[in-house]
Structure 1
Amino acid sequence: MPAHRKPKKRPRPSLATLALAGATTAATAATASGGAAQAEPRQTPAQVKTEVDGLYRQAEAATQQYNGTKADVDATRSSLNSLRDEAARTTDRLNTARGALGAIASAQYRSGGLAPAMRLALSGDPETFLEDASIAERAGSRNAQAVQRVSDALTHLRRLRTQADGRLATLTAQQERLARQKAEVNGKLADAKRLLARLSAQQRARYEAGGYADGQGDTTTPAPNARAAAAVAYARGALGRPYVWGATGPDAFDCSGLTQAAWKAAGVSLPRTTYTQIGAGRRVQKSQLQPGDLVFFYSGVSHVGLYIGHGEMIHAPHPGAPVRVAPIDEMPFAGATRPA
């Protein structure tokens, strides 16, 4: 008969094992609960505003770097196009010179390929001899000139191609830097948008309504000259237009795009970025400001506005805030310049 086996009994866990398991579960739950609490700390509207302000400053600094690189890209692309155009013209000249040289070679071949001295020696007519000698001398000179034209065109074309290759390498590096800077700006702006989403609609509206969007509170001060007046008039006409980073108008602006466009309307060409605009024109003290002056802010000179008098400026603040009038004391003053 088959033997019947008794089922094995599973050992019961000890009290120590049960206690350890309970402690581990409790600790895990506590850690998870504490981690969730720390992942989304509660911020007051004031703290959110401070953090968003910081992100916008970082984004604007990155925007100015982007603007500078974009200006470099545009200049390099223009230079590369000019080199390519010159290379095309040189190629046309080279083809023409080669054609002329080929025609001379064909003519010599058809004439039997005899050297000029031998052909003259075979001539029995002295008058013909003298005439042919003069023609041969001129032909030899033309041959040398044709060869030299081909040689010069080839040398120039090689130099242009080398320069174009260098410009293309520079352009590629600049475009890669441009993409990195664009990603940095977009990242900062996305972080700011995420933070602002934590505020109520009313709180967000209060945040975005800083300054005087419609110019209220501004007392008009006469500009010192016609050009400054034209720049101020343009900036006033831009009030309410949206801030778009990298934009130079007329429908949207970033800070340096607005000041550049305003002075362009006055017939004065300003460079593209805050870092370069502060070097354009004559530096002036804060106490000597006049309407039309450019006023710069923060230690990195990352923001600029157009002074309009009575301690106020017109500027493009940041995304979500349109071009508006604001007091110049709302940001750390870094310097001012008066365009020529």
Structure 2
Amino acid sequence: MLNGRKRLITALSGLALVVGVGLVPSTPAQAEPDIDTVQARVDRLYHQAEQASERYNDARLELRDLTRDLKALEADQGRQDDRLDVVQEQVQQSVVRQYEGESLSSVGQVLVSDDPGKFLSQLSTMSAFNDMQSQMFDDYATELKALDIRRTATEKRQAQVTATKKQLAAEKATIDTNLAEAKSLLGKLKAEAREAIVSRGDVRTPASVPASGRAAAAVQYAMAQVGKAYVYGAAGPNAFDCSGLTMMAWAQAGVALPHSSSAQYSSGPHIAESDLMPGDLVFYYSPISHVGMYIGNGMIVNALNPSAGVQVSSLHSMPYVGAVRPG
């Protein structure tokens, strides 16, 4: 009887184990990423990359100005070096003419000194200095001070150039990182879902835009670029970023704009939204990091992002900041 009970318990235990195993859910296949979640993340990455891109454009403008200033300072320092050499030679000749009662070694130290500061210090300790023309000595001291000022300015500008180059590298790295992550997220979606994200936005077929004067040339150029690629830092002819597109469009009208959305915001008078006309530049986000061109009927043409490229969008498809009328 005992052995029968053991066999029953064993059988029931085995059945429970089988049933239990059957009830354990199998590991589900990895779920596809939620489209809305990926959409929000990709949009955020593109926006962060564009912010970095516009900071990169600003830094390029700053580097251009700094480099120009540095060249001017270096040329000015060179001229000051030459002036100092002339005055030093005059002082040395005066020492030879007026020297009396000093040892040959002290005169020699003054005459062969290559260090302007040391030259001035040695000269001031010579008793012969009392007999020298004080104006000549003052001239030399003044020229030496001017040279020091120029050297300091040059060194400061050199440091600024170096720092700006580092900033450029950092912003470029941010752009590349965010773009790579956005592409990776898109790559995880099925083809249909990815296409839905890539083709999102209020894209419309380019139409004839009524514009007059110089604005007509700018609008015509911008509209002709619809469908082209978005590339950070690009300004045509085959790809653009947002400020590169507006810069090149207004260049067709003879208006020079900087390659920077924030800098373009200061390129002309600010226009109320109710007064917008085709050709006006419209700006987005705070701080400003995107610019497009108004084309009428509540629409803009803009280089949107690497997925959408150059397209026509609604005026308020992004956080609107204000508008400027170039020229």
Q: Same fold (TM over 0.5)?
A: yes
Question: Does residue 1:244 correspond to 2:234, yes or no?
Answer: no
Q: Could you tell me which residue of structure 2 aligns to residue 204 of structure 1?
A: 194
Q: Could you tell me which residue of structure 2 aligns to residue 180 of structure 1?
A: 170
CA gap 1:101/1:261 in 2 versus in 1, 3 angstroms: farther
Q: Could you tell me which residue of structure 2 aligns to residue 308 of structure 1?
A: 295
The residue type paired with residue 284 of structure 2 is F
- Aligned counterparts of 2:68 and 2:237: Cα–Cα separation in 1: 23
Q: Could you tell me which residue of structure 2 aligns to residue 126 of structure 1?
A: none
The residue type paired with residue 313 of structure 2 is A
Q: Could you tell me which residue of structure 2 aligns to residue 119 of structure 1?
A: none
CA gap 1:95/1:237 in 2 versus in 1, 3 angstroms: farther
Question: Does residue 1:88 correspond to 2:78, yes or no?
Answer: yes
Deviation string 1:24-64 (CA, Å, 9 cap, x unpaired) is: xxxxxx9xx98x98xx6532334322321121112212222
Matched residues, number: 273
Tell me which of 314, 319, 324 is aligned to 1:332. Answer: 319
SS at match of 2:145: helix
1:1-340 alignment runs, 5 A limit: 42-102=32-92, 108=97, 147=137, 149-210=139-200, 216-223=205-212, 225-226=213-214, 228-340=215-327
Deviation string 1:67-98 (CA, Å, 9 cap, x unpaired) is: 22332233223222221121112212322343
- Aligned counterparts of 1:200 and 1:42: Cα–Cα separation in 2: 8
SS at match of 2:304: coil
Question: Shift in Å at residue 208 of structure 1?
Answer: 3.1
- Does the 8 Å contact 1:313/1:325 carry over to 2? yes
SS at match of 2:240: coil
- Aligned counterparts of 1:324 and 1:166: Cα–Cα separation in 2: 44
- Aligned counterparts of 1:101 and 1:209: Cα–Cα separation in 2: 78
- Does the 8 Å contact 2:299/2:313 carry over to 1? yes
- Aligned counterparts of 1:150 and 1:41: Cα–Cα separation in 2: 80
CA gap 1:90/1:220 in 2 versus in 1, 3 angstroms: same
Range 79-88 or range 91-100, more displaced: 91-100
The residue type paired with residue 233 of structure 1 is Q
- Aligned counterparts of 1:93 and 1:181: Cα–Cα separation in 2: 43
Deviation string 1:250-275 (CA, Å, 9 cap, x unpaired) is: 44321122222323343333344323
SS at match of 2:229: coil
Query: TM-score by structure 2 length?
Result: 0.70
- Aligned counterparts of 2:150 and 2:162: Cα–Cα separation in 1: 18
- Aligned counterparts of 2:254 and 2:86: Cα–Cα separation in 1: 45
- Does the 8 Å contact 1:218/1:312 carry over to 2? no
SS at match of 1:325: strand
SS at match of 1:248: coil
- Does the 8 Å contact 1:218/1:325 carry over to 2? no
SS at match of 2:324: strand
SS at match of 1:53: helix
- Does the 8 Å contact 1:275/1:302 carry over to 2? yes
Q: Could you tell me which residue of structure 2 aligns to residue 11 of structure 1?
A: none
Question: Shift in Å at residue 218 of structure 1?
Answer: 2.2
CA gap 1:249/1:87 in 2 versus in 1, 3 angstroms: farther
Query: TM-score by structure 1 length?
Result: 0.68
- Does the 8 Å contact 1:259/1:305 carry over to 2? yes
SS at match of 1:330: coil
Deviation string 1:124-173 (CA, Å, 9 cap, x unpaired) is: xxxxxxxxxxxxxxxxxx96665555433322111011112222333333
- Does the 8 Å contact 1:312/1:325 carry over to 2? yes
Which stretches in structure 1 are left out of the alignment for 5+ residues? 1-29, 115-141
